Amino acid sequence: MFKILRNGQCYTPYNKGCNDIAIVSDRIYSLDRRIEFNGLKDVEIIDCSSKIICPGIIDQHVHILGGGGEEGPSSRVPELMLTDITTAGVTTLVGVLGVDDITRNMGGLVAKAQALQTEGIETYVYTGSYSVPTSTLTGKVITDIAFVDKIIGTGEIAISDYRSSHPTTSMLRTLASETVLGGMIGSKAGIMHVHVGDGKKGLSPLLELINESDFPAHMFVPTHLNRNKELFNQAMDFVKQGGQIDLTAGETSERGYSVPDAIKLLIENNIDMNRVTLTSDGNGSMPYGGGDTGVGKVSQLLDDIRSCILQNKLDIELVLKTVTVNAAKVLKLFPRKGVLQEGSDADILVLNKGDLSIDKLFIKGEKFIDNGVPVKRGRFEQ
């Protein structure tokens, strides 16, 4: 019931120096230089000296049902397990369908999200898939978002990709209208999470939609924007126009930028880092040479965060914001999520200072990782 994380270097994600954090039940009770629960029994004191304490990671693009399927039935990626998520430091995620809405569907996506929620992860989903008109649970995007608790927006809607349905501006406008209205009626984020492929037009279909309508730019979250250099340049311009951009972890193509290099370039170009988020695209298929297909790991997100800080020497606050407070604000979960402050959910990641490896992970005050080892596993995990 009562826990005190003692004397850790606290990033809320802003650097607050060495502090204690008190957890009562599933919430953060206080953050201060020295906290004592005098007179109370069964207070667990957890020494966090030589540790970094930060909010749990929010990953707004995860194929929890499994991605893939583009090389036949045997290429369908299996469903995600609990420890695939917790060992990556993720405490909140958003599930997506992706390209395959034939062998997978919204009913399955919502059910998987509910299963992971039961096991301890805070989960949400986008309604839809690559195609427009898109997949839904209730038959309409607006009612999905307004009435289904787990559904907070649409995604991942594909543009500039031969695998997309090549939607017209009019079709995207209708979808955006249902998305934003569903969000308003249901008090949800009401965002459109947009998959941008390697096609020649890049962000242009989205820019045309915004320029020819009255939708606010920030309701659209285009992703994979570090996949090639031309697209990345468009992304920087989009931020200057008030847009939100999302970069994908694990990018290694020579045509694009890795997350550490992309973040460095954004900072050097004075881009507003409050409008930048990172996601893993975890559990989706990753094509390699020779026709083989690998699986994207949720843990690649934390790997890239480490590289930003340890190899590229980037400011830890700026980097952490992309997967905490920035993401929470995009998803309309702030201040309950994405920040360490009084009253927020006790979603807390404890890292070892030297290599930024995971020492502990708490989700709503419950310990899921201890000394780098999972202490809670999913129902079907050994």
> Which residues does 241 contact at the CB level (< 8 Å), separation at least 6?
210, 217
Note if 272 is an active site residue.
no
Residue 202 identity (one-letter amino acid): G
Q: Which of 20, 59, 246, 281 is catalytic?
A: 281
Residue 371's nearest CA partner among 353, 350, 346 is: 350
What does DSSP assign to residue 372? T
Residue 219's nearest CA partner among 257, 167, 181, 254 is: 181
Residue 102's nearest CA partner among 79, 72, 147 is: 72
Exposure class string for 71-81: b at 16+ Cβ within 10 A, else e: eeeeebbebbb
Token look-up 């079709």 returns 171
Residue 313 in contact with residue 307, Cβ under 8 Å?
no
Going by their DSSP bridges, the two strands 90-95 and 245-248 should be labelled as unpaired
Q: How many CA atoms lie within 13 A of 40 on its CB side?
A: 13
Segments of the chain assigned E as strands: 2-11, 15-24, 27-32, 43-47, 51-55, 57-62, 90-95, 122-127, 151-159, 191-196, 220-223, 245-248, 276-279, 285-287, 293-295, 348-352, 358-363, 366-370, 373-374
> Which residues does 222 contact at the CB level (< 8 Å), separation at least 6?
194, 196, 203, 206, 235, 238, 243, 244, 245, 246
User: Encoding tokens for residue 73?
Assistant: 């039935």
Q: 249 by DSSP, 3-state: which?
A: coil
- Catalytic residues, by residue number, are 281
